[in-house]
Amino acid sequence: MSAPSETFLGFPAFPEAAHDAVRDRELRRTMRHATHTIRDKRARAVAELADWDELRTAGAQLKERTLRHLPHYLEQLEEAVTRAGGTVHWAADAAEANRIVAELVRETGEQEVVKVKSMATQEIGLNEALAAEDITAYETDLAELIVQLGRDRPSHILVPAIHRDRRQIQEIFRERMADWGRTAPENLTDDPVQLAEAARLHLREKFLNARVAVSGANFMIAETGTMVVVESEGNGRMCLTLPDTLITVAGIEKVVPTWRDLEVFLQTLPRSSTAERMNPYTSTWTGTTDGDGPRAFHLVLLDNGRTDTLADQVGRQALRCIRCSACLNVCPVYERTGGHAYGSVYPGPIGAVLTPQLHGIQSEVGASLPYASSLCGACYDVCPVAIDIPEVLVHLRERIAEQGGKGHRLEKAAVNAAGWVLNHPRALEVGERLASLTRRLQPKRLPGPGAAQWTRSRDLPELPARSFRAWWKENR
């Protein structure tokens, strides 16, 4: 079993990473089986609701309206959280968020935290930042635990260890569990029930000893300052209720105005993600309460590129995302490459539009992701908040083309040359005649590395012996 790097730092651009991934037959088999199983279940769960389209529209409009008035709802949220006994911290970027969390943990005198599965904390690399401060973060979601013990990276939003089969998980538990706490049972097999039991015993010790927990939030309700976490295992709830101090790190786009708005998302999210009618564990908390739950609550509101994304009229719709992962499960590209090829904690179609916007299109990875799509539109069809991902992809490609780069300079020169010829009918006619006369001499494949790849699996269309223009002259 390989022990790859635990972060996406220094990861290659998508084409290079995908090139290796698609050659891994076992990965492709695992991914195909997993994504098809989830997508079929989702389709059945969604088909049960006669008003699915209305719910989808309502979800999109609720998010859109909230984003338009984001400063107002964030201020309302801050007031409500403070009123309820919590403390709100604002973090402009990953470094600031990590620094705030590390300081809060240090103030408690603890050197260990338990974590609820959270995309925001992965996005900012919180575990690594805490490790640099001698604070150990224990992941408690089963799939995240597998990723952490395997010194791996997540490859799916909802099922981070989707690329692992149960035999690999058995191996990871046997080899690594002891390094992180309670050892795996000696006779552990790859039976899912045994694997789950081993994880349960291992994690139970963590929950009972932890004094500090870190979570994300699926939703934050502005009117009451309430945090909402939805999960399937109940491990999250242990983290949210047992420790003395709870620190929540959430992106600013997670705010919704009222409790009523949850009515929509708590119907669309479980069906889109796990194909369940109702989410198994929905935890909500508002500040602190005497004699019940954590004594201290801190909310770290994270920007980290979200304000810039909001400024983009087309791209901002990516901030509606409720991280259901339905778009990953239907994407033909994701199915073949798996999640690591996207070089980010946000893989698949949503990653292809979110990562370049949050982290910029200047990096190789950022500039390559909007091209990691066939633009088939399957992601848009399943998205419960109607994010038109293909529209954002094309928009980002335009921005990338505008910023230049070798490939784009050549493309631009070719389009300019074509523009000139099309604007000069005489030159076009001469060109057509020449092309027809030399058609037998023309290669079947285009030259150059990029163009050659294009014609490796496609025939170049044969030129006719006579152009339409020549035919027209003769016949009319």
For residue 247, give both structure tokens.
């620190």
Interface pick for ligand SF4 out of 77, 221, 324, 392 (rule CB under 6 A):
324
Q: What is the largest CA-CA distance in the chain?
A: 94
* Nearest distance, CB of residue 201 and ligand SF4, angstroms: 32
Q: What is the DSSP letter of 242?
A: S
Q: What is the DSSP letter of 221?
A: E
* Nearest distance, CB of residue 35 and ligand SF4, angstroms: 13
* Nearest distance, CB of residue 88 and ligand SF4, angstroms: 26
* Nearest distance, CB of residue 272 and ligand SF4, angstroms: 6
Q: What is the DSSP letter of 91?
A: E
Residue 88 and residue 248: Cα distance in Å, rounded?
10
Which residue lies nearer to ligand SF4 by CB, 184 or 324?
324
* Nearest distance, CB of residue 324 and ligand SF4, angstroms: 4
Provide CB contacts within 8 A for 7, sequence distance 6+: 125, 128, 153
Interface pick for ligand SF4 out of 104, 321, 331, 365 (rule CB under 6 A):
321
* Under rule CB under 6 A, residue 385 binds ligand SF4: yes
DSSP string, 291-345: TBS-SEEEEEEE-TTHHHHHH-TTGGGGGG-----HHHHH-HHHHHH-SGGG-SS
Token match 């998508």: residue? 14
Helices (H), 124-274: 126-132, 142-149, 166-180, 192-209, 235-241, 259-273
Determine the interface stretch with ligand SF4 among 182-190, 364-372, 382-390, 454-462 (rule: CB under 6 A). 382-390
* Cβ pair 319, 326 in contact under 8 A: no
* Under rule CB under 6 A, residue 322 binds ligand SF4: yes
What is the footprint of ligand SF4 within residues 386-405 (CB under 6 A)? 387
Interface pick for ligand SF4 out of 350, 372, 396, 400 (rule CB under 6 A):
350
Interface pick for ligand SF4 out of 143, 326, 372, 393 (rule CB under 6 A):
326
Which residue lies nearer to ligand SF4 by CB, 270 or 366?
270
* Nearest distance, CB of residue 146 and ligand SF4, angstroms: 21
Determine the interface stretch with ligand SF4 among 137-145, 254-262, 355-363, 380-388 (rule: CB under 6 A). 380-388
The amino acid that residue 177 corresponds to is: M
Which residue lies nearer to ligand SF4 by CB, 143 or 387?
387
The amino acid that residue 411 corresponds to is: E
Provide CB contacts within 8 A for 3, sequence distance 6+: 150, 151
Element (H, E) at 114: strand 112-115
* Nearest distance, CB of residue 44 and ligand SF4, angstroms: 17
Interface pick for ligand SF4 out of 382, 392, 393, 396 (rule CB under 6 A):
382
CB atoms within 10 A of CB 136: 13
Which residue lies nearer to ligand SF4 by CB, 137 or 326?
326
Contact code string over 247-276 relative to ligand SF4, x by CB under 6 A:
-------------------------x----
Phi, psi values for residue 277, rounded to 5°: -70, -35
Number of alpha helices (DSSP H) and beta strands (DSSP E) in the chain:
23, 10
Which residue lies nearer to ligand SF4 by CB, 104 or 327?
327
Determine the interface stretch with ligand SF4 among 30-38, 362-370, 381-389, 453-461 (rule: CB under 6 A). 381-389
Phi, psi values for residue 207, rounded to 5°: -60, -45
* Under rule CB under 6 A, residue 325 binds ligand SF4: yes
Interface pick for ligand SF4 out of 67, 100, 221, 383 (rule CB under 6 A):
383
Interface pick for ligand SF4 out of 287, 339, 343, 384 (rule CB under 6 A):
384
Token match 């989702």: residue? 42
Which residue lies nearer to ligand SF4 by CB, 141 or 432?
141
Residue 144 and residue 156: Cα distance in Å, rounded?
10
* Nearest distance, CB of residue 269 and ligand SF4, angstroms: 8
Determine the interface stretch with ligand SF4 among 171-179, 319-327, 410-418, 423-431 (rule: CB under 6 A). 319-327
Residue 119 and residue 217: Cα distance in Å, rounded?
9
Chain positions contacting ligand SF4, by CB under 6 A: 272, 321-327, 350, 382-385, 387
